[in-house]
């Protein structure tokens, strides 16, 4: 009896782990984080509707999880060719492709309808555009042009706009700033990943900038350019009157730190330096967004 219970528990745990991989929980948490920041930055008053915030996050989470499941369904054959992705539920044969397709569609549609019925039309429209650009632009472009990174960064930068639209019914200057910041941030973040796994991407048929950049000069140079642009843009909220002058210190410090990491990657184009840039970018974003919220006027 005890053995049966233990075996059943292990199976349920394995299913939960596969679902976690299928919906990319960490990516969904990032989406929710940026949506939350957009909501809090976009509010006019100290008081706001917690009900609206909760519904917005639920709808966004369902849409994001569904979109990532559909993305893996579309790319399952290519994922099987890469060491870093071949153990995902679909290429690993542990999850039914039709189940992932059906679940992804239902989850995405449920999230959209929740936002449409209980928040507002703009939120639902932005969510539809986010999913569509992710699945029907970014995903196929990964096999045709290295510009896919710039297109994919648009999808990743839209969630703060959903948050702003939820609390205000429109996109204000806060939303446009957050969109630009996230778009710029994603480029060096993904260029570092592309360089780290450039051979795997090439074998799988993905056309990344690093595929035709054996020396790494173009990849590292673009990473440096975008981190410099990110540093400059990150300082704008003070000039726009969105944040107090106390925001400048963390923004300048974090941005300079990221520029230093990009410079090291450009000077020595190694796996270690690319990974250092990648990890630095992971820490950079939540710290910057936290500084934005703490020093908001």
Tracing tokens 């799988």 back to the chain, one arrives at 204
CATH of the domain at 133: 1.10.357.140
| 115 and 248 housed in the same domain | no
In this structure, are residues 250 and 291 in contact, taking their beta carbons and an 8 Å threshold? yes
Domain end position, chosen among 171, 204, 228 = 171
| 166 and 177 housed in the same domain | no
- pLDDT at residue 213, as a whole number: 76
| 39 and 128 housed in the same domain | yes
> How far lies 188's CA from each of 143, 200, 215, 233, in Å?
20, 19, 17, 15
| 53 and 167 housed in the same domain | yes
Give tens-digit pLDDT for 142-158: 989 988 999 999 999 99
Number of domains in the chain: 2
In this structure, are residues 228 and 184 in contact, taking their beta carbons and an 8 Å threshold? no
Give just the sign of the alpha carbon dihedral 91, 92, 93, 97. Answer: negative
| 24 and 164 housed in the same domain | yes
pLDDT above 50 for 3:
no
Question: Which residue, among 174, 164, 179, 191, has the nearest Cα to 240 in the 3D structure?
Answer: 174
| 44 and 161 housed in the same domain | yes
* Residues 167, 153: Cα–Cα separation, whole Å: 24
Percent of the chain with pLDDT over 90: 73
Q: Which residues contact 87 (CB under 8 A, 6 or more apart)?
A: none
Question: Which residue, among 160, 163, 57, 62, has the nearest Cα to 108 in the 3D structure?
Answer: 62
Give tens-digit pLDDT for 65-107: 999 999 999 999 988 888 888 889 999 888 899 999 999 999 9
| 123 and 186 housed in the same domain | no
pLDDT above 60 for 6:
no
Quickly state the pLDDT bin for 1 (edges 50, 70, 90): low
Domain end position, chosen among 171, 197, 229 = 171
| 158 and 232 housed in the same domain | no
Domain end position, chosen among 122, 141, 171 = 171
Its domain, for residue 147, covers: 20-171
Give tens-digit pLDDT for 223-250: 999 999 999 999 999 999 999 999 999 9
- pLDDT at residue 46, as a whole number: 60
| 290 and 226 housed in the same domain | yes
- pLDDT at residue 224, as a whole number: 97
- pLDDT at residue 285, as a whole number: 97
């Amino acid at each position: 009896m005890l053995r049966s219970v233990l075996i059943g528990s292990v199976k349920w745990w394995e299913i939960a782990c596969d679902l976690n991989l299928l919906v990319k929980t960490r990516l969904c948490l990032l989406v929710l984080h940026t949506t939350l920041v957009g909501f809090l930055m976009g509010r006019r008053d100290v008081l706001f509707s917690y009900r609206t915030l909760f519904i917005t996050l639920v709808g966004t989470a369902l849409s994001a999880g569904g979109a990532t499941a559909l993305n893996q369904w579309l790319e399952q054959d290519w994922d099987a060719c890469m060491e870093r992705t071949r153990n995902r539920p679909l290429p690993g044969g542990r999850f039914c492709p039709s189940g992932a397709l059906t679940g992804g569609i239902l989850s995405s549609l449920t999230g959209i309808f929740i936002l449409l019925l209980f928040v507002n039309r703009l939120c639902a429209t932005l969510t539809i555009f986010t999913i569509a650009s992710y699945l029907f632009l970014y995903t196929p472009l990964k096999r045709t042009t290295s510009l896919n990174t710039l297109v994919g960064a648009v999808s990743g930068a839209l969630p703060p706009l959903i948050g702003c639209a939820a609390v205000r019914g429109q996109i204000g200057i806060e939303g446009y700033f957050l969109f630009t910041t996230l778009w710029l941030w994603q480029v060096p973040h993904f260029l570092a990943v592309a360089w780290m796994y450039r051979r795997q991407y090439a074998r799988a048929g993905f056309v990344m900038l690093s595929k035709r950049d054996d020396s790494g000069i173009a990849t590292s140079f673009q990473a440096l350019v975008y981190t410099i642009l990110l540093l400059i843009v990150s300082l704008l909220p003070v000039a726009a009157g969105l944040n107090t002058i106390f925001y400048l210190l963390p923004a300048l410090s974090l941005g300079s730190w990221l520029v230093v990491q990009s410079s090291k990657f450009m000077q020595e184009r190694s796996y270690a330096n690319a990974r250092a840039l990648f990890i630095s970018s992971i820490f950079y974003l939540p710290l910057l967004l936290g500084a934005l919220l703490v020093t908001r006027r």
